Amino acid sequence: MDEEKKVVEIVLPQAKFIQEPSVKMDEVRTFSEEGLFRGKVQWDQGFDLAAIAQAKIKQEAIDAGVLQKADKNAETVLKEFFGQLRYKVIIDR
């Protein structure tokens, strides 16, 4: 930060997820297409499917540009904030 020149240089890391997507397991319901004589619910398979769903949710968010949007929003907020204080902002990655 150079107070005389009114310049602030910020090293901004790339956006990343701070937690993995979650599946509310207490709200999961099981359905069967096997009819009256179906076997027991295979919970291990359900947990495996939940893990696959979490990975797909994360990948879809990445593909939709969520991280790039977060990068851009962080840059915009910092520039506007310091701009109100009459500082020129330089963002480094």
- HSE, side-chain direction, 13 A CA sphere, residue 47: 3
Give the integer Cα–Cα distance in Å for 65 and 16. 12
> Whose structure tokens read 């593909």?
63
Supply the pLDDT for residue 79. 95
- Tens of pLDDT, residue by residue over 33-90, are 666 666 666 667 778 888 898 999 999 999 999 999 999 999 999 999 999 999 999 9
For 85, the 3-state DSSP assignment is: coil
Give the predicted TM-score (pTM) of the model: 0.68
> Could you tell me the pLDDT band of residue 21, with boundaries at 50, 70 and 90?
confident
Give the integer Cα–Cα distance in Å for 82 and 45. 51
